Structure 1
Amino acid sequence: MKIEAWIFGLTTVFLLLVSPAYWFITDAGDSGADWTGTSALVMTTLLCAMVTLYLGFHARRMDPRPEDLKDAEIADGAGELGFFPPYSWWPLWCALTLTVIVFALAVSAWWLVIIGFVLGSVALSGWIFEYYRGEYAH
């Protein structure tokens, strides 16, 4: 995780240099200038700094992974990598119900918002409990 911390740290330094330059170039000090880009760059800088601190703290506390060691062999990374689920239709249904809710809010159809939340709770429950029954239960 040390290399990830270094990557985010370098990105933070870059954004720390670019944010004031962008503010100066766009004349954000004057009225009617672009505050949106400056705010977005400052928030991106803070988020990158947060991820850098998180990864840096965890890199010190955990055992090094094989890819963090300079003398590691390919065989050191062998073994189970985790659970990778097969295809699923539930994300599609969750996205469609979110689409219904956003559309209903846009046209002020409150009755459709309620239907969207009901269908969304069914779709989200199906997605959460997908691996508790059926062919891929475990």
Structure 2
Amino acid sequence: MRTSAKIFWILGVFFLVVAIVYGFLTYRYEPLGIETVGFPAVIALSGLGFMIAMALTLALRKHDQDASDDLEGEVSESAGVQGSFAPYSWAPLWLATGAALCFLGVAAGWWIFAFGILFAIYGLLSWVLEFSTGQHAH
């Protein structure tokens, strides 16, 4: 896990540098200025790398050493509980439905996008607050 975190930190920095250089070059040499698809996409790649690196770093602080960090480790040592998940949760279904409606709304009609936002907000809030209310409340 430690190596994976380092790799994603490096990827995040790399894509950030590439985004800066790409933005500068397209601003300088394109007639319409900064290219509006590639530049945000490379920035999103950088953000994704940083988010995964941060998640792995926080998991590393919580669990000191993973089986993948041991050079003599076996695959079977990684068996067991991988996290805390609520059983029978409907929240991912609502969130996925909202995301699907949002993507469909961009292609078919913006009024569908509004319904997708409503579904997505409901799914996200119910997933975040899942352990605060109901059967699995702490």
TM-score (norm 1): 0.50
TM-score (norm 2): 0.50
Larger Rg: 1
